[in-house]
Structure 1
Amino acid sequence: MATVLLVDDDPNILRPLRVLVEREGYRVLTAEDGQAALAVAAIESPGLIVTDWMMPRLDGVDLCRRLKGDTATADIPVVMLSAALPPEPEEPLWDVLLLKPVPIGRLIKAIHGLLDGPPQEVSGRMSGH
């Protein structure tokens, strides 16, 4: 099971996002800002990071710069979520940019795509027969 690290300073976004991603069968870790995300990424080596851009202490763009600058985390794919267009970096720092409000289906599709296909189904469908 792949691990997804969700990074956002707004608990009202982080909590429901966690539930949605867990329902897709992924292990979910969370961080409230880029600084905390760096610490979690160093310890846990997530398969994917979904981060907000505008956060205190260390924003999403700087988080991506630091991740890409460290050989231990440079290859972790990143989905950047933003209510506004972040500054265009000289080199790619994230794999997917999604503007808020993000349709849930689009976010889930991006997560599946970056993690090489759908996760294992956690629970089968029950028939009413």
Structure 2
Amino acid sequence: MNHYPSTSPDSPTLLLVDDEASALEAWALLLSLHEFSVHTASDGNRALQLAKATCPHLIITDLMMPIMDGLALCRALRADPDLAKIPIILWTAATRPLKEKGALGLLFERCLTKPVAFETLVEHARTLIGPLAPRI
């Protein structure tokens, strides 16, 4: 787990979860340079612990991870009354992306297919976080 603080003390907090270490670090650094305070985790179990400790404004999680995958993390977050309302972006490199249909769509607000353009990710984050979100 790493923390990439923003230069602004009022920055919204993101929890970024991905088992690909280099991508996780690159995204976290880029987001922190654009006024987000970013905490990172490389698996769902650690992400759940961090979510409880930091109560982020938004969680961005990979789908396929060891120990606890992204869907299991989403289910655990939605089951916790203190974390259930945190918006979630699920992103995946899967060739057959999930569709936000039925009960599965209740687990997360957005599903993005990797690679994701930085501006696209920030736009989704901005929409989900609302007025706290920085402008790029």
TM-based fold match above 0.5: yes
Cα distance per residue 1:74-128 (max 9 Å; x no partner):
000001110122476624111111001111111111111111043278xxxxxxx
Structure 1 portions without partners, runs of 5+: 122-129
The DSSP-based 3-state class of the residue aligned with 1:101 is coil
2:33 to 17, 20, 23: 23
Q: Where has structure 1 moved over 6 Å in runs of 4 or more?
A: none
* Cα distance in 1 for residues equivalent to 2:37 and 2:119: 18
TM-score normalized by the length of structure 1: 0.87
Say if 1:53 and 1:86, in contact at 8 Å, map to a contact too.
Answer: no
8 Å contact kept, 1:61–1:86:
no
Q: Distance in 2 between matches of 1:48 and 1:89?
A: 22
Q: TM-score, normalization: structure 2?
A: 0.83
Q: Is the 8 A contact 1:34 1:60 kept in 2?
A: yes
Task: List runs of 5+ in structure 2 lacking aligned partners.
Answer: 1-10
Match of 1:45 among 48, 55, 58: 55
Distance 2:58 2:70 in 1: 14
Asked if residue 36 in structure 1 is aligned to residue 46 in structure 2, the reply is yes
Q: Secondary structure of the residue that 1:25 maps to in structure 2? A: coil
Paired positions, count: 121
Taking only the aligned residue pairs, the percentage that are identical comes to 36
Query: Which residue in the other structure is 1:67 paired with?
Result: 77
SS in 1 for 2:103: coil
C-alpha distance in 2 between matches for 1:17 and 1:24? 11
Please say if 1:83 is aligned against 2:97.
no
Classify the secondary structure of the residue corresponding to 1:18. helix
- Aligned-pair RMSD on alpha carbons? 1.7
| More helix per residue | 2
In the alignment, structure 1 residue 119 sits paired with structure 2 residue 134: yes
Pick one of 17, 20, 24 that aligns with 1:14: 24
